[in-house]
Homo-oligomer: A and B are copies of this chain.
């Protein structure tokens, strides 16, 4: 078993993005612009937005955060998005989710120009995946492909089982791996016999958000394990059951430990696995920067 190091791949992507931005700046006199819109003050969202802003600035992206009060009206929020659509300095826009409960997410997001959709969550962005015409992918599945590429794992002909059918991970990664010539099965809560299906997989992509749901008995010897789950546990017995030793130490100090959807005891059977934390999760923000660069390149037509 070999660990697929998200930190290493993320650093590589960041380095490439930074270098390309520098060279494009020389050529065009411009740098990509990313604007993140955050509404209200959800503490987790604030942390995510800060890390995005920080990485963007580090890579030479013209980064801006627009903070709106939770009391903002639908009209004002849509107005702000339309302003960004028109703003020539802005290449990518990301509306941090979740929005406060009073908003209908799509009623808001559908006003964003699909050409500035840095998350690639809008219909046009997702549809390009089915057409195999994408330049930009949703950040988490995009990060998975970069990890596979970095470690030269060719999925052609592989039987891949994706567990979870969200539009953020499950359904797009399934179509993306199909385009890359894998034979992909998508499982979910209604799947009759999940262990039997997962046991056949040459690669498992787990994206459900349930601690250790993919147990060692469900994994074929030599399978590639890609874990998208990030589960925060704060009960001692759960932490001992699902978390690595390092996360168990963290629990002692901080009162919680992190684990993935794939049980740590399954790693030993794998050929490759992404750890949690330290795997796919570290790719997401880097891929957002990568996407912003692609949107910029399309807009300035390089």
Contacts and interface: CB of A to CB of B under 8 A. Distances in A.
Interface of A: 106, 114, 122-133, 156-157, 159, 165, 167, 171-172, 174-175, 178-179, 181-188, 190-192, 197
Enumerate the 8 nearest inter-chain pairs by beta-carbon distance, A residue then B residue, closest first: A127-B127, A123-B127, A126-B127, A181-B190, A185-B185, A123-B124, A126-B130, A183-B191
A174 B192 CA distance: 17
Contacts of A179: 165
A124 B165 CA distance: 19
Identify whether the interface residues of A are mostly helix, strand, loop, or mixed.
Answer: mixed
B130 A130 contact: yes
B157 A190 contact: yes
A286 B179 CA distance: 30
A252 B167 CA distance: 51
Contact of A181 (B114, B126, B129, B188): B188
Given A106-B131, A123-B125, 17 more contacts: A114-B124, A123-B123, A123-B126, A123-B131, A123-B133, A124-B124, A125-B127, A126-B127, A129-B130, A131-B167, A156-B190, A157-B191, A171-B175, A174-B174, A174-B186, A178-B186, A183-B197
